Amino acid sequence: MDQKPIPPHVSPDGEDLRLPPGSALDREATRRTRRSFIGLGLAGLGGVLGWRYLLNRPQIEGVPAPFRQVLNANGRLTQAYLRETRLAPEFAKSQGVAKVRTNGSAGLTSALDPAAWRMVVQPYGGGKAQEFTLADIQALPRVEMTTELKCIEGWSIVVNWAGARFSDFLAKYPLASRSGQPVKDIANPPADLAPYVGITTPDEKYYVGLDMPTVLHPQTLLCYEINGQPLSLAHGAPLRLVTPLKYGIKHLKRIGTIAFADTKPADYWAEQGYDWYASH
């Protein structure tokens, strides 16, 4: 494979997708951060009584309502950033760790026959499910990037990944819009594009939900290599998701099925109370 890798901040037409610093959203974020510090100070005044009050509030999606509201506000803010195509920092390939730590094996315990494996995609708005082989994904432009994998448990590592952009997959296969339009230009997607994508392992024991801006983000890869080698089973062979603006929990290993949705799809860790967006 001597195809030259395209850096993820460059679009397929060679356009540099990075944003100039100091945008309106940067300013909004700073203002909000200042406001949340004031909010935290007031919360401190409330002390233990306030804490008891908080924990006794009605729960929304398994989290006391006031916490859930903060999580949702953070989710909205990070969504706003994504619309401005913020990019995760990239590193030199040599800065990647030689031995990549593994974490999480939900959905990986059933037997896998790599030759029989297919990625099964249910088109948005109905129709027959379509199957893709690893060769189909490898036929898309190969993109290589060295980015940080941040686990929500508090550790992070720099990893070299290679795969196909999810957006290139949706540009070639018109499965994400009701009218069957492909995504030709990330900035001007079809009007009837699905707002959400749900991905599960073949046994459906691990599953994540993603919003469409994340799916179309230039650093969101259908990934088949780590450090220049095919993925091992523990890292999600034959194909996994990598999306470095999100915590590791969203980087589903061993993709089985993909489906488009009008509402937020089920998400393994969101069901345990983590922020559904899981941006950082």
Ligand X SMILES: Nc1nc2c(c(=O)[nH]1)N[C@H]1C(S)=C(S)[C@@H](COP(=O)(O)O)O[C@H]1N2
Residues contributing to the site for Mo ion (CB under 5 A) = 151, 248
Q: Which does 186 bind (CB under 5 to 8 A by kind): ligand X, Mo ion, none?
A: none
| Residue closer to ligand X, measured from CB, 177 or 219 | 219
Residues 278/210, Cβ–Cβ less than 8 Å: no
Based on the shown chain and the rule CB under 6 A, indicate whether residue 253 belongs to the binding site for ligand X.
Answer: yes
CB of 210 to ligand X, least distance (A): 13
Q: Which stretch binds ligand X (CB under 6 A): 85-93, 100-108, 160-168, 270-278?
A: 100-108
Q: Which stretch binds ligand X (CB under 6 A): 7-15, 34-42, 80-88, 246-254?
A: 246-254
Structure-derived torsion over alpha carbons of residues 156, 82, 231, 141, reported in degrees to the nearest 10? -140
CB of 124 to ligand X, least distance (A): 23
Q: Are strands 119-122 and 257-261 parallel, antiparallel or unpaired?
A: parallel
Based on the shown chain and the rule CB under 6 A, indicate whether residue 242 belongs to the binding site for ligand X.
Answer: no
Based on the shown chain and the rule CB under 6 A, indicate whether residue 110 belongs to the binding site for ligand X.
Answer: no
User: Given candidates 132, 161, 196, 206, which one binds ligand X under the rule CB under 6 A?
Assistant: 206
Strands (E), 98-203: 119-122, 130-132, 143-150, 156-165, 196-200
Based on the shown chain and the rule CB under 6 A, indicate whether residue 103 belongs to the binding site for ligand X.
Answer: yes
85: left (phi over 0), alpha (psi -120 to 50) or beta: left
- With tokens 């860790």, the residue in question is 269
Read off the DSSP letter of residue 190: -
Other CB atoms within 10 A of residue 135 CB: 7
Binding residues (CB under 6 A) for ligand X: these are 100-108, 149, 151, 201, 206, 235, 248-249, 251-254
